[in-house]
C-alpha cells in the first residue's frame, strides 16, 4: 500500500495491489482534477497523459484559455457557478449572499493509519500499517475557509474512503448548503445503477437500471436513512454479473437524510456524488468552527457484485463494527414480540424463557410493552419505568429470574420517541421536533424527541441508565418507528433550522456512544420498524440490525439477498417466526424458516410454549446445529448463487476462510411438475479439495462442484435422516447442503 505524490506534477496516486485512485492539482491551483479510479495500474512519475482536454463551446475560467472550462474537466470536489454547470459536491452561501467558492490547493499531508471522524461513525484501522490517509488542504481566500479532503486507502482492501471537512477561519459566519462526502467523475456512462429500495416489511429490494442522460438519484428526506432507499448505490458495467466484471460501490456511513446521485452529462461523463441530502440542509458555520461530513466507502471490484459485497462484508464486520461483540459469537435469541405483542406478564415471559432455555436458546429479549401503561401503540414512550401490573418485580426482578435460568436477558427501547400521555411530554412539551404554530404530525401515535438538544440526550441517557444499572441486561434492541415531520428545534435560531436533522442524528450517535462507554458488554441490535436504519452508521454502534418486520421465509429471501449486497451476515437479524406468518399469512415448514434464518444472526420470534412436541424437537436440533455453524456463518465468505428477483429458485452459500467447510442454502419458491433439470454451481471452494456432502455417500472435488454443480435431480437425506427430493418437495421447499473437506 502506498500513497505516492509526484511533487513536480502535483499528482497523487493512492494504490495497493487491487486499486488505483489518481488525481492532480489543476494549473493555477484551481480545483483538483480527477484522473482515474479503478483496477490498480503501475505508478509512474507523471500521469500527465491522462489529462483530457478538448476545445468545446462553453465558458472558460481564464481569458485566452479555451480549455479551462470546469464543465469539461473531471474533478474531485466540484463547485457550481464558475463554469461547471453540473451538480456540485459543495455549495456555500457567504455573508454577502454569494454562492461562489474557489478552494485552491494549499498543501497535503500523509497520515499513517486512519484518523477517526469527530462525532461521526467511520471505518477504522487497528494499526498504522493497515491503512494510510491523504489529506489535501484547499483554501478559499475570500471566504477565509479551508476545505480538507480526506482519502484513506487500506493495504489489503479494494476500498477508498473519503470525507471532507470545512473550517471557517474568517470573522463572518457562512452557510453550507451542500457538503457531499464524495464526488467521482467517471469518463463514460457505460454503467447500470444498482440500488436497494423498499418499504416497511419489504426492505432492500434490488433495483438495476440503465443510466440515462441527466440525473438519477436515491435519497432520504425522512430523518432516517429509511426503508425507501438504503444509503448505497453501485455502478456496474453492462456485462458485469454477480461474479465477473467491474463494479463501483458507494456506501455512506450515515443514518440520516442522504443523497446518492448519478449525473450523466451531455458528453457522457458520469458524476457520482454521495453525502448528506442537501435538500432541507443548511449549516451555519461560525468563525473557528469545523463541519465534518460523514464518510463514503467506495469499493472497486473486478469480480462482479459478489466481489464488491465481500469487500463490504469484511470491512464492515471487522473495521466498522467494534468493541466487545465484534469478534464474538452472538447468542441465539428469542424475542417475544410476535409471541405476545403488548400482552404479557412475568409468568408468561418466564414460561417462554424457560422453554426456550430448555431448547438451547441463549438470550431472551423482552420487546415493546414493558413500561408505562403501554398496552397498545398509543401510549407511554418516554416513560421508561416498568409497568408493575405486568412485571411486579420490575425489569430488575425479571432479569434476575432469567439470569437464574442460565439465560441472558435483553430489553427493547425506543429512546428517541415520546407519547403525549407521558410524564416526559408533560414536563417538556418543547422537547419534541415540531414547528411552532403548526400542527405536529403523528407517526404511530408518537412524536420524535429533539435529539439535537444535549439536555434531551442526557435525560434519556439517565432514564435508560437507571434501568440498566440495576438490572442484568446484556442486549438492547434500539427501535425507531417513525419518520421526521415539521422538522424544527426550539433550541436553534431561525437560520440554523437546516441543521436539525443532522444534529438529531449526531444526538442519536452520542447516546449510543455514552451507553457503549458505560456498558461495553451490552450487545446492541438496531431496528427501525425493521430495516429503516439498516445502514453502516448504526453498524458502528450496533453490530447487528433487525432486517425487516417481515419474518416470512419466502419474503426474507429477497430482503436478506438485497441486504447482503452491502452488509455482512453477522449483522443481519433473522428469526424463525410462527405460521401462518403474521405479515403475509403464508405457511412454510420449520425447515425452510430455519434454512433462511441460519444465514444471519439467527433467533426465534414466536410463542415457543405453543409449539408441538415435534416442533420443539426441531428447535432443539436447530439451536445445536447453529451453534456448530455460527462461526462459519459469521466469518465465512458469502456467495449469492441464484437471485430471487430473477428466479423461482434461490440459492446462496457461505464458505469458511480456509475453504474446508461450506453451507449452501437452496430454496424453491413454487413447485413445478415435470420440471427441467437443476444444478447449483457453487463458488469459493478449493478446486482441488475433495468435499463430502452430508447425507450423500459420494465425494466431489471443488472444481466439480463449481463447474458442474450439485445435481438436484438426486435425492438427499438430512442429518435427521429426513429424505428430500427437489421434485417432490412442494412449495416453499428448501435444502441445506453441508460440505466438509473429505477425510479432514
Ligand atoms: C417495530 C419493530 O421492528 C418490531 O420488531 C417490534 O419491536 C415493534 N416495533 C415493537 O413496537
Give pLDDT tens digits for 524-565.
999 999 999 999 999 999 999 999 999 999 999 999 999 999
What is the structure's pLDDT at 1? Answer: 62
List, in order, residues 6 or more apart from 462 with CB less than 8 Å away: none
333-414+452-481+509-633: in CATH 3.20.20.70 = yes
**For 644-721, where are the E strands, in sequence order?**
649-655, 661-668, 679-680, 690-693, 699-701, 710-711, 715-717
pLDDT less than 50: residues of the chain: none
Query: Mean pLDDT over all residues of the chain?
Result: 97
CATH 2.60.40.1180 fits domain 642-741: yes
Closest C-alpha to ligand 1, atom 5: 549
Strands 575-577 and 19-25: unpaired
Catalytic residues: 479, 549
In short, whether 573's Cβ falls inside 6 Å of ligand 1 is no
**Ligand 1 centroid to 46 CA: how many Å?**
57
Q: How many CB atoms are closer than 10 A to CB 79?
A: 24
Round to whole Å and give the CA distance between 627 and 648.
30
Q: What is the pLDDT of residue 11?
A: 98
At 2 the pLDDT is 87
Q: β-pairing, 544-546 with 572-573?
A: parallel
What are the residue boundaries of the structural domains of the chain, listed by start? Answer: 3-319, 333-414+452-481+509-633, 642-741
Cβ of 549 less than 6 Å from ligand 1: yes
Q: Please tell me the predicted confidence (pLDDT) of residue 371.
A: 98
Find how far residue 317's CA is from the centre of its chain. Answer: 11
pLDDT value, residue 374: 98
Separation of alpha carbons 301 and 566, rounded Å:
13
Q: Which of 337, 365, 546 to mutate to test the pocket of ligand 1 (most atoms within 8 A of CB)?
A: 337
Report whether residue 479 contacts ligand 1, using a CB cutoff of 6 Å: yes
174-202 per-residue burial string, b: 16 or more CB within 10 A, e: under 16: bbbbbbbbbbbbbeebebbbbbbbbebbb
Give the whole-angstrom CA distance, residue 368 versus residue 342.
7
Report residue 300: phi and psi, to 5°.
Answer: -110, 125
Helix (H, G, I), strand (E, B) or coil at 27: helix
Going by CA atoms, what residue is nearest to atom 10 of ligand 1?
368
User: Do residues 681 and 660 lie in contact, with contact meaning Cβ atoms separated by under 8 Å?
Assistant: no
Of 658, 661, 651, the closest CA to residue 682 belongs to 651
Q: How far is CA 246 from the centre of its chain?
A: 22
Q: Is there an atom of ligand 1 within 6 Å of 550 CB?
A: no
Dump pLDDT digits (tens) for 251-264: 999 999 999 999 99
Mutation to probe ligand 1, out of 343, 367, 372, 483 (largest number of atoms < 8 A from CB): 367
The CA-atom distances, in angstroms, between 118 and each of 24, 122, 231, 291, 315 are: 27, 9, 20, 10, 20
Q: Is 734 in a helix, a strand, or coil?
A: strand
What is the DSSP track for 649-660? EEEEEEE-TTSS
Gap between the Cα atoms of 355 and 451, Å rounded:
40
Q: Kindly report the protein residue whose alpha carbon is nearest to atom 1 of ligand 1.
A: 529
What cell numbers appear for 35 in the block?
484522473
What is 3-319's CATH superfamily? alpha-galactosidase from lactobacil brevis (2.70.98.60)
DSSP bridge pairs for 182 = 274
Backbone angles phi, psi at 707, to 5 degrees: -100, -30
- Alpha-helical (H) ranges within 43-88 are none
Residue 481: CB within 6 Å of ligand 1?
Answer: yes
**What spacing in Å lies between the alpha carbon of 181 and ligand 1's midpoint?**
32
Does 337 sit in the ligand 1 pocket, CB within 6 Å? yes
Pocket test for ligand 1, best of 412, 528, 542, 549 (most atoms within 8 A of CB): 549
> Could you please report the per-residue DSSP string of 618-643?
HHHHHHHHHHHHHHHHHHSEEEEEE-
Q: What is the pLDDT of residue 492?
A: 98
Cα separation, 173 vs 176, in Å, equals: 10
CA 350 / ligand 1 centre spacing (Å) = 20
Q: For residue 628, how far is the Cα from the chain centroid?
A: 27
Of 487, 566, 509, the residue nearest 294 (C-alpha): 509
Q: Which residues pair with 667 in a beta bridge?
A: 650, 734
* Contact call for residues 714 and 724 (beta carbons, < 8 A): no
d(CA 396, CA 403): 10
Which residue's entry shows cell 456496474? 236
Q: Per the structure block, which three cell numbers stand in for 337? A: 414480540
Q: What are the strands of the beta sheet with 690-693, ordered from one edge?
A: 637-642, 649-655, 661-668, 733-741, 690-693, 699-701
What confidence score (pLDDT) does residue 744 get? 58
First CA to last CA distance, the chain: 36
Residues in the chain: 744
C-alpha 341 to ligand 1 mean position (Å): 9
Radius of gyration in angstroms for the set of CA atoms belonging to the chain, rounded to a whole number: 27
Atom of ligand 1 nearest to the CA of 377: 11
529 within ligand 1 shell (Cβ under 6 A): yes
Amino acid at each position: 500500500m502506498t500513497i505516492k505524490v509526484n511533487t513536480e506534477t502535483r499528482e497523487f496516486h493512492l494504490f495497493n495491489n487491487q486499486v488505483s485512485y489518481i488525481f492532480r492539482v489543476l494549473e493555477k491551483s484551481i480545483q483538483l482534477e480527477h484522473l482515474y479510479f479503478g483496477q490498480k495500474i503501475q505508478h509512474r512519475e507523471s500521469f500527465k497523459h491522462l489529462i483530457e482536454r478538448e476545445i468545446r463551446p462553453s465558458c472558460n475560467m481564464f481569458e485566452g484559455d479555451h480549455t479551462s472550462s470546469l464543465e469539461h474537466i473531471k474533478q474531485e470536489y466540484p463547485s457550481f457557478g464558475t463554469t461547471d454547470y453540473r451538480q456540485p459536491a459543495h455549495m456555500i452561501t457567504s455573508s454577502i449572499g454569494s454562492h461562489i467558492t474557489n478552494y485552491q490547493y494549499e498543501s497535503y499531508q500523509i497520515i499513517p493509519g486512519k484518523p477517526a471522524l469527530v462525532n461521526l461513525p467511520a471505518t477504522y484501522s487497528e494499526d498504522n500499517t493497515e491503512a494510510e490517509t491523504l489529506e489535501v488542504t484547499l483554501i478559499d481566500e475570500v471566504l477565509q475557509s479551508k476545505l480538507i479532503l480526506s482519502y484513506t486507502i487500506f493495504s489489503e482492501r479494494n476500498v477508498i474512503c473519503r470525507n471532507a471537512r470545512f473550517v471557517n477561519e474568517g470573522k463572518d459566519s457562512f452557510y453550507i448548503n451542500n457538503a457531499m462526502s464524495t464526488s467521482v467523475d467517471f469518463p463514460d456512462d457505460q454503467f447500470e445503477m444498482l440500488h436497494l429500495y423498499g418499504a416497511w416489511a419489504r426492505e432492500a429490494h434490488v433495483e438495476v437500471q440503465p443510466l440515462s442522460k441527466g440525473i438519477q438519484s436515491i435519497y432520504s428526506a425522512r430523518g432516517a436513512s429509511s426503508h425507501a432507499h438504503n444509503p448505497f448505490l453501485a455502478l456496474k458495467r453492462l456485462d458485469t454479473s454477480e461474479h465477473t466484471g467491474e463494479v463501483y460501490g458507494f456506501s455512506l456511513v450515515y443514518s440520516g437524510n442522504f443523497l446518492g446521485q448519478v449525473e450523466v452529462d451531455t458528453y457522457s461523463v458520469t458524476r457520482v456524488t454521495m453525502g448528506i441530502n442537501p435538500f432541507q440542509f443548511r449549516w451555519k458555520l461560525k468563525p473557528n468552527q469545523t463541519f465534518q461530513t460523514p464518510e463514503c466507502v467506495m469499493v472497486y471490484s473486478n469480480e462482479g457484485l459478489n466481489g464488491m459485497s465481500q469487500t463490504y462484508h469484511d470491512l464492515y464486520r471487522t473495521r466498522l463494527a467494534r468493541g466487545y461483540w465484534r469478534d464474538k459469537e452472538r447468542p441465539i435469541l428469542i424475542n417475544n414480540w410476535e409471541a405476545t405483542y403488548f400482552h404479557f406478564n412475568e409468568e408468561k415471559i418466564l414460561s417462554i424463557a424457560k422453554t426456550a432455555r430448555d431448547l438451547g436458546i441463549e438470550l431472551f429479549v423482552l420487546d415493546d410493552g414493558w413500561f408505562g401503561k403501554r398496552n397498545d401503540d398509543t401510549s407511554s414512550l418516554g416513560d421508561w419505568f416498568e409497568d408493575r401490573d405486568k412485571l411486579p418485580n420490575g425489569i430488575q426482578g425479571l432479569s434476575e429470574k432469567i439470569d437464574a435460568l442460565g439465560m441472558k436477558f435483553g430489553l427493547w427501547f425506543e429512546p428517541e420517541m415520546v407519547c403525549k400521555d407521558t410524564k416526559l411530554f408533560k414536563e417538556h412539551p418543547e422537547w419534541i421536533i415540531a414547528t411552532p404554530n403548526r400542527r405536529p404530525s403523528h407517526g404511530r401515535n408518537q412524536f420524535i424527541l429533539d435529539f439535537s438538544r444535549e439536555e434531551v440526550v442526557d435525560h434519556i441517557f439517565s432514564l435508560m441508565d437507571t434501568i440498566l444499572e440495576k438490572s442484568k441486561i446484556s442486549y438492547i434492541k434500539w427501535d425507531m418507528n417513525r419518520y421526521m415531520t415539521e422538522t424544527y428545534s426550539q433550541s436553534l435560531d431561525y437560520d440554523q433550522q437546516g441543521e436539525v436533522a443532522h444534529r438529531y442524528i449526531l444526538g442519536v450517535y452520542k447516546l449510543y456512544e455514552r451507553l457503549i462507554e458505560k456498558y461495553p458488554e451490552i450487545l446492541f441490535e438496531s431496528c427501525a420498524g425493521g430495516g429503516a436504519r439498516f445502514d453502516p452508521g448504526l453498524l458502528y454502534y450496533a453490530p447487528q440490525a433487525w432486517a425487516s418486520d417481515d419474518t416470512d421465509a419466502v419474503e426474507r429471501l429477497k430482503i436478506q439477498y438485497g441486504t447482503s449486497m452491502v452488509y455482512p451476515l453477522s449483522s443481519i437479524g433473522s428469526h424463525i417466526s410462527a405460521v401462518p406468518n403474521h405479515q403475509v399469512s403464508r405457511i412454510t415448514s420449520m425447515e425452510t424458516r430455519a434454512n433462511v434464518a441460519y444465514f444471519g444472526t439467527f433467533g426465534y420470534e414466536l410463542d415457543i410454549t405453543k409449539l408441538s412436541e415435534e416442533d420443539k424437537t426441531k428447535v432443539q436440533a436447530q439451536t445445536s446445529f447453529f451453534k456448530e455453524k455460527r462461526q462459519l456463518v459469521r466469518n465465512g465468505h458469502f456467495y449469492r448463487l441464484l437471485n430471487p428477483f430473477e428466479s423461482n429458485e434461490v440459492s446462496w452459500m457461505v464458505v469458511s476462510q480456509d475453504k474446508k467447510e461450506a453451507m449452501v442454502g437452496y430454496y424453491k419458491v413454487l413447485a413445478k411438475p415435470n420440471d427441467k433439470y437443476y444444478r447449483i454451481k457453487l463458488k469459493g471452494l478449493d478446486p482441488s479439495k475433495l468435499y463430502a456432502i452430508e447425507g450423500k455417500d459420494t465425494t466431489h472435488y471443488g472444481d466439480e462442484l463449481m463447474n458442474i454443480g450439485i445435481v438436484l435431480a438426486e435425492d438427499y437425506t438430512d442429518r435427521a435422516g429426513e429424505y428430500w427430493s427437489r421434485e417432490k418437495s412442494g412449495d416453499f421447499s428448501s435444502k441445506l447442503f453441508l460440505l466438509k473437506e473429505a477425510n479432514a
